[in-house]
Amino acid sequence: MQWTLVIPDDLAAPLQGVYGDDLGRAALEKLALDGYRSGQLSRYQVQRLLGFDNRYDVEDWLGQHGACQSYSIGDLQADREVLERLLSR
């Protein structure tokens, strides 16, 4: 899907001062970030949307934008229990 973003000329300069010259890319990145944080997009989908070549680049990008995957103490405990069961076999 292609889309067009229309920004009034008088607003382009201030936005470029914050987001850089490529406002289209900035909008796409915000969309990807919000989609990932809301759980609507996976890391792989973010990778595809933003055109990253590999998962390491998307991991780095997500980390730079403070979008690390949430992993609770409960998740850790559940993973430990599964690991202990597997290793005890």
Contact 70, 79 (CB under 8 A): no
Encode pLDDT of 25-55 as tens digits: 999 999 999 999 998 999 999 999 999 999 9
Question: What's the DSSP call for residue 66?
Answer: T
Q: Give me the chain's average pLDDT, please.
A: 91
Instruction: Tell me what pLDDT residue 70 has.
Output: 67
Of 89, 33, 9, residue with least CA distance to 25: 33
Note the pTM of the prediction, 2 decimals. Answer: 0.72
Instruction: Tell me what pLDDT residue 16 has.
Output: 95
Count of positions (residues) in the chain: 89
What are the residues whose beta carbons fall under 8 Å from the beta carbon of 15, sequence distance 6 or more? 7, 23, 26
